[in-house]
Every structure is written in C-alpha cells, then in structure tokens.
A = this chain, B = another copy of it.
C-alpha cells in the first residue's frame, strides 16, 4: 500500500499543516519529512525545538505505519507514540528534514510477528534530523501498534 503522506499528515493533523510538512519517498522506500524554516523558527530565528521533536515524532510514526502497510496490510491498525527523546545537536539555520533509520531486521521481524499474533506490539526507532546535509538532531521513539477492534 502506498499513501500520499503529505496530504494525509496535513489533512489529519493541523500542526503538520502549520509546519508545512512535505513527504518524499527515498530510493529504499523510506519516507523523509521536510519542513521550511519559516513556520518553524524560535525566538532566535533558528529551528524551534518543538518543531524538531514534532517532525521526528511524525517521521518515526510514518516508518512504523509503512512497515505495517508492507507486511500486514489487511488489518486496521492504530499507532501511538509511547516515549520520544530528542537530542539537539546543532542550531538549525535553514529548512530541515527528518527520516527514520531502517529498523534492525531482527527487531522488525519480532515486531511484525508479535503484531500478527497478538495485535499489539512495540517498535523502537531512531530518527535523524538533517539540515543542509548536517546532522542537527537525533530522536529515539517507542511506538505501539494495536489492531483496531472496529
């Protein structure tokens, strides 16, 4: 299943729309989420920490959804974040983007197997945030996928 992530995120989450998030599919299938600096500045004119954490949170969420779309497409699924941690490495002076690192194959297999069996599983993901090729922030998130009762 392929989704129009830009319009899905922006139509269902007002904050993603305010941030002007756009999604791009990378050659390996992952989804990178980009934002312009303008709507995402802080009082110092650099990238706002809240925007960085939010973009990374979304990029991780999209990766979990993408993996489930690929391997368990038939069932409705609800994905929520349980924990997210952002390390701010450098000031951000331009547009920036976030993309999840592909999950470790063993971890992913365990997650998908558990989800298939129990309808409930957790996946830990790392997301990197870049600005003009520089690694400006690092995010780790724990996401829980549960099968919709409906």
**Which residue numbers of A lie inside 8 Å of B, CB to CB?**
8, 12-16, 18-19, 38-44, 48-51, 53-55, 57-58, 61, 78, 80-88, 91
Contact = CB atoms under 8 A, between A and B. Distances in A.
A40 B13 CA distance: 7
B57 A40 contact: no
Contact of A15 (B39, B44, B82, B88): B39
A30 to B, nearest CB: 19
Q: Which of A8, A41, A49, A55 has the most CB of B within 10 A?
A: A49
A83 B78 contact: no
A15 B18 contact: yes
Contact of A80 (B49, B54, B83): B49
Contact of A57 (B12, B49, B87): B49
Contact of A83 (B19, B42, B88): B88
A89 to B, nearest CB: 9
B49 A81 contact: yes
Contacts of A57: 49-50, 53
Given A81-B88, A82-B87, 18 more contacts: A8-B43, A13-B42, A15-B19, A15-B40, A15-B50, A18-B18, A18-B19, A44-B78, A49-B61, A50-B55, A53-B53, A53-B84, A80-B91, A83-B85, A83-B88, A84-B85, A84-B86, A84-B88
